[in-house]
Amino acid sequence: MSKKKNQVNTNKKPLGMRIWNNRGFYLMFLPVFIFVLIMYYWPMLGIRYSFFVYKGRDIHWIGLQHFQSMFMEPEFWTAFRNTLVISIVKLLLNTFVAVVISIFLNEMTSLFCKKFVQTVIYLPHFMSYAVVAAIFTLFLSTSSTGMINETLKEWGWIQNSIDFLHSTKLWQPVFYIINLWKETGWGTVIFFATLSGISPDLYEAADIDGATRLQKMRYITLPALANTIIIVLILNIAKVLNIFEPVFVLYNNRVFEVSDVVSTYVYRKTFMTSLPDYGYTTAVGLFKSVVGCMLMLASNWASKKIRGRGII
Amino acid sequence: MADIKEKELTAPVAADETAENVVEAAESAASEPEKKKNVPKINTIEAKHSKIKVFDIINYAVFIILTLIIIIPIWKVISDSFNAVGVYQFRLWPNKPTFGGYATILTTSKLFRPLLNSFITTIAGTLLGLLMATLGGYVLNQYDMPGRSFLSYFLLVTMIFSGGMIPEYLVMKQLGLVDNMWILVLKHGMNVYNLVLMKNFFEGIPASLYEAAKLDGCSPMQIFYKIVLPLSKAALASIGLMFAVTVWNDYSTVQIYITSREQANFQYMLRVMVMDGDTPTTAYKVSQSTLYNAGIVCAILPFMMAYPFLQKYFVTGVNVGAVKE
């Protein structure tokens, strides 16, 4: 890349000529440019509404009052705390299980079995959250067709059906388990890419030194993954505030206190209230975007520090 | 003198002796380690063998359980979708087989329309997404184009910062895209991440090909569709699949922007059906749960069918970006 840049700098042709020579490329970029301008940059102008009251036809300046009322609102802080807890626990849990699975799957001797397991565990990733939520809502239902409750009753483990998705105690664990089911398999893809890059010489050398299998896993495979694990965590930490769909498809008004996240809070305040103040919800969204942006830049910086290139 | 001679005479003998010794020693050294190696080698092999066996058995057992955990819910849904009566407990085979659930979906316009919408938006969204990603990726590779870095920053900013849900909603409202299924296409028509993947892939095409085409008098557009696109079939397949999966599976866009059933996609309809229990009544005598499960199967079927054949492309899509600098 630097080579090409130097070529540009030493290019003797005048700027106008170079622009004219590349006119075909500008023309090709034009659709992308217009599209991005409308779909991404135009909405950014709407951020000004965070300083306005925007109720129906009534739009007037209000200054920073939305932010004041936002920080006073306990419901907002609940949502903010839930966002951090849910996203971070989900991230750590999914990464941890994905690492364990990829290390042990890597030890599998039969190539066919390995491929088969990979094919199967990637599968749930391609289902939408709406589908996964529908599947598990049916399974966990308290009606007579709810498989899990009925089976547990049959085995005599429980007396009465447990309402998994409506219990404030159980909602979060159930949420994590469902997400593990959906995303862990896919999470192993990146670790496998790393594992296939480990030189077999290392394992041979360890064999000659008489290392056991577990020792090889502990001293060769795991350290090789360490860098990738850090990168995965960094990449995802930038997105912790964006969580919307996974929560939205599973939550309900009986478990708001443990499941409401910032995005669902914004959604509810806008689309489920009779006369929404777009200004207030824009302000909440702006707060989320700014914190998200800072997280993104921080993780970009960390990524540059660790692996020499940024994430963006 | 005599001493010296003696020494000289004896020296070769000693030398011979030592040589013999050395050879002997070498021989014994060669044989001894062999013996030594042989004896414990058998032991270690046996020990390792048993260890490997135990480890492998546990490993295989764990992965069999793991695959069952993934497969059983999916299988259960498929099995229940063919079962006419509500299924109780842990039954993995339909006891009263029927196609009524699917027949209901295909004949009830309230359910069939969203399914059709899903197909239309997925195809349109994939095509638009690929068009934008390839055009953008191709232009961003022109390193001697003035303003190239401005254009890439222009795109990168959108990855870091966005207007947020509400300003976007207000803009779409102004554009008349609220309660309009084409919002699904436009929302996913541009994906900067996929564009960068595409650009990275194009970078792998040898520059000499471009130059040769340029010398032959090809315009940038001609180079693009005569050389670049035919050479990037694999990337087009993987990135196209990524777009298709995203559009097909999108539920939140519909939830935010679309209110009427005629414009909704199937994911939304499924959710409304299962969560709110809003089921249409039909001539087919099937239980609610049959219909729900048939709905779930319809929502996952297109990708489940393509998946075993296209898995390669699904996976490379991720790795294209990860490997390339």
pLDDT in tens, A205-249: 998 988 888 888 888 888 888 888 888 888 888 889 989 999 999
Cβ contact A287:A67 at 8 Å: yes
Q: Which residue has the tokens 């436009």?
A: B186
Residues of chain A with Cβ-Cβ distance to B139 below 8 Å are: 25-26, 28-29, 32
Residues of chain B with Cβ-Cβ distance to A137 below 8 Å are: 274-275
How far from A181 is each of A132, A236, B61, B321, CA to CA, in Å? 9, 18, 18, 25
Question: What's the total number of domains in chain A?
Answer: 2
Of A44, A63, A82, the residue that ends a domain is: A63
| Residue A42 domain flag | yes
Kindly state whether A222 is in contact with chain B, defined as any CB-CB distance less than 8 angstroms.
Answer: no
Q: Which residue has the tokens 């993954």?
A: A225
Q: Which residue has the tokens 């088969």?
A: A116
- Claim to verify: residue A213 and residue A186 sit in the same structural domain: yes
Q: How far is B4 from chain A (nearest CA, A)?
A: 51
Task: Specify the range with the lowest mean pLDDT, choosing from A266-275, B6-15, B103-112.
Answer: B6-15
Distance of alpha carbon A269 from alpha carbon B170, whole angstroms: 15
pLDDT in tens, B270-291: 988 887 777 766 656 777 888 8
CATH number, domain of A166, equals 1.10.3720.10
pLDDT over 70, % of chain A: 95
pLDDT in tens, A71-89: 999 999 999 999 999 999 9
| Residue A312 domain flag | no
pTM exceeding 0.95: no
- Claim to verify: residue A277 and residue A161 sit in the same structural domain: yes
User: Is the pLDDT score of B308 beyond 50?
Assistant: yes
Mean per-residue pLDDT for A96-109?
A: 90
- Claim to verify: residue A214 and residue A153 sit in the same structural domain: yes
Mean per-residue pLDDT for B89-99?
A: 76
Q: Do A126 and B142 touch (CB under 8 A)?
A: no
Distance of alpha carbon B164 from alpha carbon B157, whole angstroms: 14
Using CB atoms within 10 Å of the CB of residue A8, give its burial: 0 to 12 exposed, 13 to 18 middle, 19+ buried: middle
- Claim to verify: residue A76 and residue A56 sit in the same structural domain: no
Task: Specify the range with the lowest mean pLDDT, choosing from A23-27, A144-148, A264-268, B45-49.
Answer: B45-49
Residues of chain A with Cβ-Cβ distance to B70 below 8 Å are: 120-121, 123-124, 181, 185
- Claim to verify: residue A139 and residue A243 sit in the same structural domain: yes
- Please give the residue range of the domain that contains residue A286: 72-307
pLDDT score of B273: 86
- Claim to verify: residue A22 and residue A115 sit in the same structural domain: no
| Residue A136 domain flag | yes
Q: Do A126 and B303 touch (CB under 8 A)?
A: yes
Of A39, A63, A87, the residue that ends a domain is: A63
CB atoms within 10 A of CB B134: 26
Q: Which residue has the higher pLDDT, A4 or A293?
A: A293
- Claim to verify: residue A124 and residue A98 sit in the same structural domain: yes
- Claim to verify: residue A241 and residue A109 sit in the same structural domain: yes
pLDDT score of B233: 86
The DSSP result for B134-178, as a single string, is: HHHHHHHT-TTSTTHHHHHHHHHHHHH----HHHHHHHHHHTT-T
Q: Which residues contact B306 (CB under 8 A, 6 or more apart)?
A: none
User: Is the pLDDT score of B160 beyond 70?
Assistant: yes
Among the partner residues B63, B252, B303, nearest to A248 by beta-carbon distance: B252
Query: At residue B102, what are phi and psi to the nearest 5 degrees?
Result: -70, -40
Residues of chain B with Cβ-Cβ distance to A177 below 8 Å are: none
User: Is the pLDDT score of B33 beyond 50?
Assistant: no
Question: Is the ipTM above a cut-off of 0.90?
Answer: no
Task: Specify the range with the lowest mean pLDDT, choosing from A145-159, B41-55, B245-259.
Answer: B41-55
DSSP-assigned beta bridge partners for residue B295: none
CATH 3.30.70.20 is held by the domain B107-323: no
Q: Do A137 and B296 touch (CB under 8 A)?
A: no
- Claim to verify: residue A31 and residue A98 sit in the same structural domain: no
Residue B51: pLDDT band with limits 50, 70, 90: low
Of A17, A32, A63, the residue that ends a domain is: A63
The DSSP result for B3-17, as a single string, is: HHHHHHHHHHHHHHH
User: Is the pLDDT score of B16 beyond 70?
Assistant: no
CB atoms within 10 A of CB A21: 14
- Claim to verify: residue A106 and residue A220 sit in the same structural domain: yes
Residue B19: pLDDT band with limits 50, 70, 90: very low
- Claim to verify: residue A273 and residue A140 sit in the same structural domain: yes
Mean per-residue pLDDT for A142-166?
A: 84
User: Is the pLDDT score of A11 beyond 60?
Assistant: no
A 59-98: CB under 8 A from B: none
pLDDT score of B49: 57
pLDDT in tens, A237-296: 888 998 999 999 998 888 888 999 999 999 999 998 888 889 999 999 999 999 988 998
Q: Of the candidates A180, A182, A174, which has an alpha carbon nearest to the alpha carbon of residue A124?
A: A182
User: Is the pLDDT score of A36 beyond 90?
Assistant: yes
Among the partner residues B145, B164, B245, nearest to A25 by beta-carbon distance: B145
Residues of chain B with Cβ-Cβ distance to A120 below 8 Å are: 67, 70-71
Q: Of the candidates A268, A270, A264, which has an alpha carbon nearest to the alpha carbon of residue A245?
A: A264
Highest mean pLDDT among A298-302, B144-148, B212-216, B250-254: B250-254
